[in-house]
């Protein structure tokens, strides 16, 4: 970690910025982590010495498991970041779009769990390479009584097609790396002992390309305009967030172990069990 980015470890080698997420205990996407990532992206945006950015995690079990659930009690926590969000985007959508529109090539090296806002981060990056043995992705929001609000509905619909996007968005279960590769969610699933070497070689090869090539390639394969869809996504997410089920599931999830290592490893089952209990209660 550095004083400039408390939740990140940043190093630069031959045009490749390695950004290691280090936000104990489980790397939740909280205000500090989001602030640090956005601050870093903005700082290097015009830096010609940085050509490729590789994101990974210091925690072998968790990349980013989801947005900080304790923020349900701090509704103004993201207000400062929201002031910098482009018009028409909520703060979580703006976070994903900052990654998606970064001029450098962005690569995620995934060797743990990425759910919710963490999975949206992965999908917003230019490329993702994942460990066959350890990586899992999920959009877990439906098990909290909401739908994704940070871009997943648009990113997955555009990348995977509507049928597979709905499977992931409504199924709520983790997807292994090989299935994610087959669906087109990630680039490749690789054996864990080959992941580092593959990503390092690819990143260095890209960084060593002649001037102008990276920018030309990204311009020639432009990011799809999703603005209209983001409005629909936000309305759906915000409408569900205002209903009683979301608050009960988020608070109950925290009480039962969300944000702990044990709880996060079985978060989907934890939330499903909780909902079954809530349904059985009066006014549940």
- 120-142: buried (b, 16+ CB within 10 Å) or exposed (e) per residue? bbbbbbbbbbbbbebbbbbbbbb
SS3 for 92? helix
pLDDT at 75: 84
pLDDT band at 56 (very low <50, low <70, confident <90, very high): very high
DSSP assignment, residue 160? H
Pairing of strands 8-13, 16-21: antiparallel
Of 278, 258, 217, the C-alpha closest to 113 is 258
- Flag whether pLDDT at 74 surpasses 80: yes
pLDDT tens, position by position, 75-101 = 899 999 999 999 999 999 999 999 999
Average pLDDT over residues 236-248: 96
Checking 261-266 for CB contacts under 8 A at 24+ apart, the result is 261/25, 261/26, 261/61, 264/26, 264/62, 264/65, 264/113, 265/61, 265/113
pLDDT at 1: 43
- Flag whether pLDDT at 284 surpasses 60: no
* pLDDT, the chain, mean: 96
CATH 3.40.50.300 fits 8-207, yes or no: no
pLDDT at 2: 58
Q: Where are the domains of the chain?
A: 8-207
In 10 A of CB 46, how many CB atoms? 8
């Amino acid at each position: 970690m550095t004083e400039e980015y408390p939740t990140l470890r940043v190093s630069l080698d031959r045009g490749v910025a390695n950004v290691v997420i280090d936000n104990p205990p489980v790397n939740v996407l909280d205000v500090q982590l989001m602030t640090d990532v956005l601050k870093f992206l903005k700082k290097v945006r015009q830096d010609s010495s940085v050509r490729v950015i590789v994101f990974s995690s210091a925690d072998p079990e968790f990349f980013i498991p989801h947005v900080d659930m304790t923020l349900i009690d701090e509704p103004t926590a993201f207000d400062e970041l929201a002031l910098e969000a482009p018009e028409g985007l909520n703060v979580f959508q703006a976070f994903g779009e900052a990654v998606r529109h970064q001029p450098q090539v962005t690569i995620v090296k995934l060797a743990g769990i990425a759910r919710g806002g963490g999975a949206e981060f992965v999908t917003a990056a230019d490329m993702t390479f994942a460990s066959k043995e350890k990586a899992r992705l999920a959009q877990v929001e439906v098990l909290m009584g909401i739908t994704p609000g940070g871009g997943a509905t648009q990113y997955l619909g555009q990348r995977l097609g509507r049928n597979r996007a709905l499977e992931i968005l409504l199924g709520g279960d983790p997807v292994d790396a090989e299935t994610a590769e087959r669906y087109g969610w990630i680039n490749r699933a690789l054996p864990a002992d080959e992941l580092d070497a593959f990503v390092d070689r690819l990143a260095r090869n890209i960084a060593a390309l002649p001037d102008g090539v990276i920018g030309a390639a990204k311009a020639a394969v432009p990011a799809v305009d999703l603005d209209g869809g983001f409005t629909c996504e936000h309305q759906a997410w915000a409408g569900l967030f205002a209903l009683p089920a979301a608050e009960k599931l988020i608070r109950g999830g925290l009480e039962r172990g969300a944000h702990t290592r044990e709880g996060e490893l079985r978060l989907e089952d934890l939330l499903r069990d909780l909902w079954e209990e809530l349904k059985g209660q009066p006014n549940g």
